[in-house]
Amino acid sequence: MAFVIADRVRETSTTTGTGNFTLAGAVTGYQTFDTVLDTGDTTYYTIADQSGANFEVGIGTFTSPATLARTTILSSSNGGSAVTFTSGTKDVFISLPASKTVQSFSAGSTGLTPSTASFGAVALAGTLVPANGGTGTSTAFTAGSVVFAGASGVYAQDNASLFFDDTNNRLGIGTSAPSEKLSVHSAVGIRGSNFSSLSYFGSTVNTTGVYTGLDSGGGFAINVRDAGYQAFSTSNTERARIDSSGNFLVNLSASAAIGGRLSAAVSGNNAGVFICDSANFPLVAWARSSSSELVYFGYGSSGGNVGTITTNGTTTSYNVTSDYRLKHDVKPMVSGLSTVSALKPCIYKWNANNSYGEGFIAHELQAIIPEAVSGEKDAINKDGSIKSQGVDYSKIVVHLVAAIQELSAKVAILEAKQ
C-alpha cells in the first residue's frame, strides 16, 4: 500500500451519491487507475461532472480492478464536503491539488521560487518562515552562535548571553569568551533531585563522584563518595579539611599524633580554638601563646587574661589571674577564723546515682563566702528544670590560710604565757 501519483490517468464513471466510485474505463489517450495502482494504494483524485455542475478533489483509496473510495475530501463544489453526484457521466482522474504544491511568491511569506533543471528542487529567494522549516530571518548567524527560537518563533542569536567556542569546545553563559569548558558569568540556580543537584567525577580519583545538593532534611550536603577528604583553602593554600574518618583538621593534612575528632595546629599567639560571645568577647582559647600554655581564659573586648591551664611537661597547673598590678586597696584578711568557723561542711548522697559526697550546700556557703558560689538559690531554667548553683572550692583556701594564721598567733600568745 503506497501513495501514488501518475500522469495521464483518466476514466469515466456514472456512479451517483456520495459512496465509492465504480470506474468505467479509460478515456482515449489516457491510462486506467488499475494500470498504475495496486489494491490499497492511495492517490489524489478529481471528479467532475461533464456538465460542469459539480466537482470534488480529494484523496482516494483504490481497489482493483475499478473501485475508488473517496477517503478524504480536500475541496468540492459542496463547500469542502462530499458531493452527492446525480446521474450522468463524470470524469475521474489523478491530479495534484493546488493546496499540495509549493507556491512561489515574489515578496511573500515563503520566499521560495523554483530552481532550474534540478528535478523539483527550490532556491531560497527571501525569508522562509519557521513553520515551513526556515529561520524566519535573513540575518546571517556568526560563528559560535547558539541559535534559539525568539519572538514568534523567529530564529535568533545572543552571543553575549550564550556562545559556543567551536575551536576550544567551550560553552559560555553570560560571556562570548569562555575560558573553561563551561563558563558562567552570572548567578546560577540549580534545581534537581535531593542530594544530587551537582556532581563531580574524576578520571583517576573520586571516580564514584562528589555529590552536592539538598538532603532529605532540607540541609545542604557535600558527599565525597570515595575514601577522600574535603579541603578548605584561601589564597590558594589549604587551611582546613575533613578527612575520610570524619576528623576536622585545621592547618593539618593528617590527624595529630594523639588523634581526635578536632585537631588544630597553631603558631605564635594564634589560638587553636577560640570561643567568644556575640559581642566578640573572648571566653576561652586553647593552645595560645606557647607550648606550655594549654588553655587561656580571657574576658572583655581586649581578651584580658583571667586564667590559664599550663604544663611543664610533667605536671599541670590550673591558674587564676593574681598579678599585683591588677589590684588595689590591698589589706590583710583578719576574719579567717570566724569565717571558717561559720562554714557548715557536710556529707551527703547524690540524687542522680545515690553516690557518696562531701562538701558544702551552695546557698549556705554563699551566705558566708559569696565569691566561692555561682548562681542563685532555687533558680530554674525556662523549661522548669533545675538551674543549679556551683561551688569553687579554691576560693575557700584563702580563708583557711587566714584562719590558720590567726590560730598560729593565738598559739604563740599562749605559749609565751607559759
Supply the pLDDT for residue 190: 74
| 254 and 320, same domain (yes or no) | yes
Residue 211 has pLDDT above 90, yes or no: no
Domain boundary among the residues 80, 98, 116 is at: 98
Q: pLDDT tens digit string along 256-271?
A: 666 678 777 766 655 5
* Residue 370, pLDDT above cutoff 50: yes
* pLDDT at position 354: 97
In a domain, 370, yes or no: yes
Residues 26 and 75 reside in one and the same domain: yes
Q: What is the pLDDT of residue 239?
A: 87
End-of-domain residue from the set 77, 98, 119: 98
CA–CA gap between residue 343 and residue 393 (Å, rounded): 12
Query: Residue 246 pLDDT > 80, yes or no?
Result: yes
User: Are residues 320 and 242 part of one domain?
Assistant: yes
pLDDT at 196 over 70: no
pLDDT at 313: 81
Are 192 and 213 within 8 A, CB to CB? Answer: yes
pLDDT tens digits, 132-172: 667 777 777 888 888 888 887 888 888 888 999 989 999 99
Q: Are residues 28 and 63 in the same domain?
A: yes
pLDDT of residue 284: 62
Whether residue 33 is found in the same domain as residue 77 = yes
pLDDT of 116: 44
CB 55, CB 47: distance < 8 Å: yes
pLDDT tens, position by position, 20-41: 999 999 999 999 999 999 999 9
Q: Which residue has the cell 562538701?
A: 359
Cell numbers at residue 91, please?
470524469
pLDDT at res. 303: 63
- The mean pLDDT of 206-234, rounded to a whole number, is 80
Judge whether 317 lies within some domain: yes
pLDDT in tens, 109-134: 454 544 444 444 445 456 767 766 67
At residue 266, the pLDDT reads: 67
Which domain-ending residue is among 98, 122, 146? 98
CB of 362 closer than 8 Å to CB of 377: yes
Domain that holds residue 43: 10-98
Task: Establish if 70 belongs to a structural domain.
Answer: yes
Say if 284 falls within a structural domain: yes
Judge whether residue 339 has pLDDT over 90: yes
| Whether 131 contacts 139, CB under 8 Å | no
203 falls in which pLDDT band (50, 70, 90)?
A: confident
Q: From CA 160, how far away is CA 397, in angstroms rounded?
A: 78
Is the domain of 88 the same as that of 25? yes
Is position 369 within any domain? yes
Both 63 and 35 in a single domain? yes
Chain CA centroid to CA 311, Å: 49
Q: Are residues 261 and 286 located together in one domain of the fold?
A: yes
Instruction: Kindly state whether residues 308 and 243 are assigned to the same domain.
Output: yes
Burial of 212 from C-beta contacts in 10 A (0-12 / 13-18 / 19+): middle
If one counts the domains in the chain, the total is 3
Domain assignment present for 255:
yes
- C-alpha cell belonging to residue 253: 593534612
Q: Give pLDDT, residue 135.
A: 75
Cis before 65 (ω within 30): yes
Kindly state whether residues 262 and 311 are assigned to the same domain: yes
What's the pLDDT score for residue 227?
A: 79
Q: Say whether both 93 and 18 belong to one domain.
A: yes
57 and 79 part of one domain: yes
